[in-house]
Structure 1
Amino acid sequence: MPLRHSPPKTTESGDRKLSAPINIQYGSAPNLATIEAKASVSRSNKRKYEDELSSFMQEIRELLKSSTAQTEIKFLSLQKSMDEIVSQNAEIKKTLDFTTKQYDDVMLKIDSLESERKSDRYICQLEDKVQNMERLLSLSKIEIRNISKLDKESKDELCNLVKKTVSVLDIPLQHQDIKDIYRIKKKNGTSPIIVDFVSVTTKDLILQNLRNFNHRNNQDRLNTKHINLAILNLSTSQKA
């Protein structure tokens, strides 16, 4: 226990000043073993904490590493899928381009065929019109074959020849009944006479009388002898 020593008290007759008490305490020496034990425990706790922290950090690193590896695997898988999709899209685009080109080619062919069809139809229409016009123009025409061409033959001479021919059929024909008369040259070398009458009735009458004449004279059908032309047989028919 600490010892306390108190100084002697002064009397009133002594010094008028009173001295403050002085306390001197004495304690026992510190326990070094206890301090060292506490320090050792503290160091042990610190190492344990550091080990736990290091272990925790290592686990975190392992988790991050594992997560990074998994993320990289997923990324590579995603990248592969994207590459496959891009490749498939490229193939689809290529197929679409090819199909589109084929479609365009088909449409061009259809347009071409349609144009040709319209052109052919237009040509057919023109041919029909020409044929109709020829029929209309031929309504008043006849073709006289097998009469040889005369020297210096003129339209008047041809008209006289036709008048002489139809007179055999009992038809009195005048110059004014003939609109036009001419010869044409055919591929077979013949040169028939084309007579265009003013009236279709005149042409029909000539053809009808010709048929009657040939029917009555089956053994001696109309020929050049009947018009005093002993050259070739003569036949009269409507121009096709």
Structure 2
Amino acid sequence: MPLKRTPPASPGKTRSASKTRKTKRRREGSFDDNEDNASFREDIFRMFEEFKLEQKNNFKLLQDTITQQNKEIQTSLEFLSARYDEIHGKLESLEAERKTHLAYIQSLEDKVENLENRSNSASLEIRNIPVKASENKTDLTNVIVNTGLVLQTSIQPSDIRNIYRVNTKSNIKPIIVEFTTVAMKENILKLTKTYNKNHSSKKLSTKDLHFEDPQKPVYISESLTHKTRRLFSLSRQFATQN
């Protein structure tokens, strides 16, 4: 039986078939590339969405934290403001109370000053009289009586209501004598000024009152209150310095 053989393809048909296969492979490759690109875009989009969601959550958390901190700061400020108002109110109350106390103290000082002025209205202060050992009121009274003799006026023990020495830091402690009348006090002051004027080179001294040497001048003046004495001392100090 004779064999049937397929005749060889013509060169034109062979090139056409090869071209068709190549075109088919390119189309299949392009499809795969498109799928890869689409998958890549989806991955990128998904990652972006996840990142955006994460950032949104982080921002929300940060915002909530800031809001909470602001509330706490606001609460603290309100508390401090309330405390400030409370303390300020207490300070104003204390200041008002202090002023009231100062006014009351000033009122008491004025009353004491008036009482001292009344008490001293008939009193004299005698300075530079030496202190005798075991000195008593009789000794002090004799000093005043002898002073009256020097000034050529009669002073009786009955004219003296009270007499005492003032305790001071110095050795010479002034004598305070309170007479029974203001007229007696004024008369002694007047006579003392007259005596010193008439004896300008030999003013009233401890020698005139029969005290031993050293001889010292005797000063007789009105008895001042503590406040007045302090003001007088300051005024003398100011005059000396200026």
TM-score range (shorter-chain normalised) is 0.5 to 0.7
Asked if 1:199 is matched to 2:201, the reply is no
- Greater helix percent: which structure? 2
Asked if 1:106 is matched to 2:88, the reply is yes
Deviations 1:135-181 (A, max 9, x none): 22111111111111223322122212211112211221111110011
Match of residue 171 from structure 1? 153
Match of residue 22 from structure 1? none
Task: Work out which of the two has the higher radius of gyration on C-alpha atoms and give 1 or 2.
Answer: 1
Match of residue 105 from structure 2? 123
Question: Which secondary structure state, in structure 1, belongs to the residue aligned with residue 207 of structure 2?
Answer: helix
Question: Which secondary structure state, in structure 2, belongs to the residue aligned with residue 225 of structure 1?
Answer: coil
User: Letter of the aligned partner of 2:222 in structure 1?
Assistant: Q
Q: May I ask how many residue pairs the two structures share in their alignment? A: 165
Residues 129 and 172, structure 2, Cα contact 8 Å, conserved in 1: no
Could you list the structure 1 runs, at least 4 aligned residues long, displaced by more than 4 angstroms after superposition. Answer: 81-93
Structure 2 gaps of 5+ residues are 1-62, 225-242
- 1:152 and 1:94 mapped to 2: Cα distance? 75
From 195, 207, 228, give the equivalent of 1:225: 207
- 2:165 and 2:77 mapped to 1: Cα distance? 68
- 2:184 and 2:67 mapped to 1: Cα distance? 89
Match of residue 235 from structure 1? 219
- 2:210 and 2:175 mapped to 1: Cα distance? 18
TM-score, normalising length: structure 1: 0.60
Compute the displacement of 1:89 (Å): 6.2
Compute the displacement of 1:90 (Å): 5.7
Structure 1 vs Structure 2 CA RMSD: 2.8
TM-score, normalising length: structure 2: 0.59
- 2:188 and 2:120 mapped to 1: Cα distance? 14
1:1-240 to structure 2, matched below 5 A, reads: 91-231=73-213, 232-233=215-216, 234-240=218-224
- 2:191 and 2:110 mapped to 1: Cα distance? 32
Match of residue 44 from structure 1? none
Deviations 1:41-77 (A, max 9, x none): xxxxxxxxxxxxxxxxxxxxxxxxxxxxxxxxxxxxx
